[in-house]
Structure 1
Amino acid sequence: MAGSGYKDYFQVLGVDRSADADAIKRAFRKLARQYHPDVNPGDASAEARFKEISEAYEVLSDPDKRRRYEQFGQYWNQAGASGGAGPGMDVDFGRYGNFDDFINDLLGRFGGPAGAGGFQGSGFPGGGFPGGGFPGGGFPRGNAAARTPVNLDAEATVSISFAEAFRGTERALSVNNERVQVRIPAGVKNGSRLRLKGKGNLQPGTGRRGDLYLNLNVKEHSVWRLDGEQLQADLPVSLDELALGATVTVMTPDGEAQVSIPAGTAPGRSLRLKGKGWPLKGRRGDLLLTLALKMPSSWTADEQELLNKLREQRSENPRHDWLRSAAL
């Protein structure tokens, strides 16, 4: 192209003459994505434009070529060039498997520095998932055989309530400007990871798309807690219910239920309700209710009278064994 008249390569790429290497590379990526023949099949003008911006990038991305171009203009290639092909070039697009292979090979031949592209998902408020940039994990040097495969996968974090984790729920997310309905199954746990196949980053010009991985954050509940596969809760009980035994009404994830407390039960003992716990694969786990003695904030006169009678009639010192064992 040197012999066919002067071309303002800065103008071709749409950058200032003071633009640094990063600005030039960003401009080339944007234009290459816009005018690549794979994106504009059968468009001869787009192919010509693509060759023109490729020629401009070849010169301006090379510090020595850029210096000679700025000094000698259209005769830069005759001013001390030492071997190698000039900027004019014919591109055989058929030899590339996809757009990414071409861009990587082109930047490698031009000597462009490797750079990060694409995005990795992050937590997003309100189900939004930001997209943008140039997906695909960068433009490494070297030939295609030695290049690391492009990673188009993305990640994000979704927060759900304890009840939603128990019953399952749905979320509408915005991924790369696309509305995606996500079904979260019942029984997921904090830290669970869901894979949405084909909903990750999109590689322009190829149609290739990665997967989207959702990391689930299950919020804590004020009563229920999950320990492994066991759903647990503390059950408040009174002194007389522990001493005399009782049948009490409790709440389970399925609604109210009746449980029996044996007479003489000590605080801290757990009652097991089989099949009333956390959803597991094809079954339900057990529910454990730990008996917790709840003392009243104040006693009535009648209650105090009964407690005094109990103290007078009590036949056992509760600290008898403790006193002997605690002696040093």
Structure 2
Amino acid sequence: MAEQKRDYYEVLGVSKDADDAALKKAYRMLAKKYHPDANPGDKQAEAAFKEVNEAYSVLSDPKKRAQYDQFGHAAFDPRMGGGSGGGFYEGNAADFGDIFGDMFGGDIFGSFFGGGRGAQRQAANAPMRGANVRATVRLTFEEAIFGCKKKITIDYKEECETCKGSGAKPGTSPETCPTCKGQGKIVKMSQTMFGTVQNVQTCPTCHGSGKVVKEKCTSCNGTGYKRIRKSFEVSIPAGIDNGLSVRMPHGGEPGVNGGERGDLLVECIVSPHPIFKRQDTNIFSTVPISFATAALGGPIRIKTVDGEVEYTVKAGTQTDTRVRLSGKGVPSLRNPKIRGDHYVTLVVEVPTKLNAKQREALKNFDEAMQGDGKKKGLFS
């Protein structure tokens, strides 16, 4: 009997009326939590990662979400006349990669959906791509909003100049491994109750390279590589958010057996701002206004990431009134010409210390508004 699928809303931990922003936020958090890079060898995390992706693939699509809300999982059950469970496993993995902006280094979906480097087992001594290198850079709030260039310096694995990466002493060359005859692997056959079983292992002598170095290069001790300090200038795109990474293609470690370099992934850590708070592409702040301005209306100055702007408060404005400054938010990562909004909460300030003249003015005001301020005991 097939295992009962969990409700997609329950999988993402959101309510049935959750909007796109809430869905995306929940998906980001769970995908990062259960991603295979963070849980190597954990089958439960792998299953949870797939479940989260499947849920989001349906609920993030308005048409599929409507079908799911009406028919549940049966909407995508081929036996019930439905389609695939959201289409995510049929080639939409790239769309979900855009949500993270390389948060996990770009291979988030490859090992699961056939598009990544792990999709097929390569020969042990075939060219292999180098490992990705990760670094971090700290940004101010404004740098993340508008983009900038940052210089980083990291410990970097580089090919040895003396042996050109071969690991062999100049004038000599690596030789074919005598153990595996250059195959980089050893095949052992064994008989079991199920028949002959073939067991393939990486060669312990050459560690899969198919070559051995008889005379080692003295500069790198036969490794073929050296550790150096290297500086990079990173272009930070406008609208980058805290925790997202910028990819620098071929800025990672050298490949093996002629494989291409990996990438450099620079994670952005955005410092908090004393006034502004960010949510996706929108900015939020609070601005105090005087009682007189709230009552009578009038112009005020509001700080934004673009500088101060003038806003006219309406007469009779109540405290906690929220106003919107259109287009004063964060640029979209996909289209920097599109910006979010800046929402400002107006808070009416009540004076805590009054002199005699001010108190008298307020008494007169109260009497003018109600005519019985003294009788009510509003002022002593």
Q: TM-score, normalised by structure 1?
A: 0.48
Larger Rg: 1
The structure whose RCO (Cα within 8 Å, separation 6+) is larger is 2
